[in-house]
Amino acid sequence: MLSFAEEIYLLALDDMTGQTVLAGGQIALNQALVAGVVGELSFMRRLDADLESLIVLDASPTGNPILDTVLTPLRAAGLGPRPLRRCLDDLYRTASTIETLTREELVRKQVIKSVAGRVFWVIPSRRYPVIDNRELIDVERRLRAIVTDPEVIPDPRDTVLVSLVTACGLFPEILSPRELRRSQERIHQLSRLDLVGGSLIDHLNGLNLAMATASF
């Protein structure tokens, strides 16, 4: 089973170029991966959140390097609630490590591969095309079925994933424009079932608005 961060990374990855498809580029990918790890820790009942606070319930090491990358700075501050915005801003500093570890784990699982290449002839780059797109297809198919078919009842983990994908703005990459229009209400309803995911949506929407305002 793939983690939330791994699923989000695959959804955000152009499997031909290895670049993110998120409109906000690397910054948006950083936010998405942190949101994925926070969502995973929430699902494990290590974290909780409301609209204003992130609540650390259990900061003991998990043995998973990706999860512990986020838990370590939270553990230093002790258990209990702390301002959500400040916590997430602090956690974004770990995003580069989270991306590296997530990519390495997907390579280890043989979902993606690293191909050394060059942009023009002097700047080295790496691309990460999907080896077996079964996992990516399964994630997209599952999400499409959940949000377009009201008869489909999502399990708790898929509800969290819907919240995270909404928070990261990835549904336009999964659904056609018509599907997206028709599914907006259901996506909104499902994404608000997970309280942590709902808090992340509000936080990331605020960040995106701030970035958009700053660009003018």
pLDDT digits (tens, 9 = 90+) for 84-123: 878 888 888 899 999 999 999 998 988 888 777 655 555 5
Say whether 53 sits in a helix, a strand or coil: strand
Segments forming the whole domain that contains residue 96: 4-214
- Cα–Cα distance, 74 to 126 (Å, whole number): 32
CB atoms closer than 10 angstroms to residue 68: 17
The residue-averaged pLDDT of 43-69 equals 88
Dist. CA 147–CA 161, nearest whole Å: 11
Q: CA-CA distance, 197 to 42, in Å (whole number)?
A: 9
Count how many domains the chain has. Answer: 1
Specify the 3-state DSSP secondary structure of 147. Answer: helix
Give the span between the Cα atoms of 107 and 95, in whole angstroms: 18
Rounded Cα distance between 212 and 216, Å, is: 7
Token pair for 138: 């399964």
The rounded distance, in Å, linking the Cα atoms of 13 and 26 is 11
What's the mean pLDDT in 71-86? 81
CA angle at residue 92 from 130 to 47, to 5 degrees? 95
- The CA radius of gyration of the chain, in Å to the nearest whole number, is 17
**Which pLDDT band, with edges at 50, 70 and 90, does 146 fall under?**
very high
Q: Regarding predicted confidence, which is higher, 165 or 20?
A: 165
**Top-confidence residue, 201 or 206:** 201
Half-sphere exposure of 19 (CA within 13 A, CB side): 8
Which of 17, 10, 19 is closest to 143 using CA atoms? 10
- Local confidence band at 132 (pLDDT 50, 70, 90 cut-offs): confident
Cα(190)–Cα(9) distance, rounded to whole angstroms? 21
User: 67, 4 in Cβ contact below 8 A?
Assistant: no
User: Over the stretch 2-15, which tens digit does the pLDDT of each residue have?
Assistant: 899 999 998 888 77
For position 189, which CATH number holds? 1.10.3630.10
- Residue showing tokens 């691309």: 127
